[in-house]
Amino acid sequence: MKAWAEQTIVITGAASGLGRALVQHFATLQARVYAVDVDAERLTQSRQESPAPFEPVVCDVTELVAVEQTLASIPADVLVNAAGITGQTNRKSYEVDAADIERVFRVNFFGSYYTSRVLLPGMVARGYGRVLHIASIAGKEGNAGMLAYSASKAAVIGMAKVQGKEMAETGVTVNALAPAVIQTPLVDAMPPEQVRYMTDKIPMKRTGTLAELVATVAFIVSPQTSFTTGFTFDMSGGRATY
């Protein structure tokens, strides 16, 4: 069974929020971590503040050529796609700019598709891998006022189901995680009324924490979690139980 210190882990959206927390967690466990983000300045700051070393990788995951050029040579054991944006929120679907929907899909869906497209063949060739796409409860149930985000995360969930089935006999698992509201800079930037709308739907009546989410991710991508693939893990404080 592979220890974390023997693994190479690629994490997108690595300069802030969940991605940054995951980078620091796995780096502390002595994994070789490639922290991928488009924001070079924030990546540098995160590297300076990290308690353990990691490899910063500046890359725009919405561009397939850039992903191929920067990630194709990495022998990844684990890929966690944490890059994501909400786009316009707190407005009716017919009020959302079409360009905004496209922008959100490019980050949330195509970013996850491109990285998995590039890294999955190597995992299959080596007979081992863990891919986790960070989706959202919004992808399961839809959040009013969040068309682009909800639809893009639903697409991510669909992709995890397809890839999980395709990889089922290869030693590679592909899963999704559907959190409800986790207190991150992404959520902090949203209108308060939108956050209240989402939090009120959670039976626990609170947001999740980064520490809780990191622990869940670590379980899903561990070598021991080997018989679950194509699944969407719930982390919603009781909002979704299916």
**What CATH number belongs to 4-232?**
3.40.50.720
pLDDT of residue 90: 87
Measured CA distances, 83 to 22, 26, 63, 113, 133 (Å): 12, 17, 13, 12, 9
Catalytic position from the list 34, 113, 114, 149 = 149
Please give the pLDDT value at position 119. Answer: 98
pLDDT tens-digit readout, 136-157: 999 999 989 999 999 999 999 9
State how far the Cα of 196 lies from the Cα of 110, in Å rounded to an integer. 29
pLDDT grade for 80, boundaries at 50, 70 and 90 = very high
Task: Tell me the pLDDT tens digit for each residue of 116-132.
Answer: 999 999 999 999 999 99
DSSP state of 94: G
Percent of the chain with pLDDT over 90: 84
Residue with tokens 């969930």: 157
Domain definitions of the chain by residue range: 4-232
DSSP 20-83: HHHHHHHHHTT-EEEEEES-HHHHHHHHHH-SS--EEEE--TT-HHHHHHHHTT---SEEEE--
Does the active-site annotation cover 149? yes
Q: Is the pLDDT of residue 194 over 80?
A: no
Mean pLDDT, rounded, for 177-199? 81
Average the pLDDT over 87-98 and give the result: 93
| Per-residue model confidence (pLDDT) at position 39 | 96
Across residues 71-80, what is the average pLDDT? 98
With 80 as the cut, is the pLDDT of residue 168 above it? yes
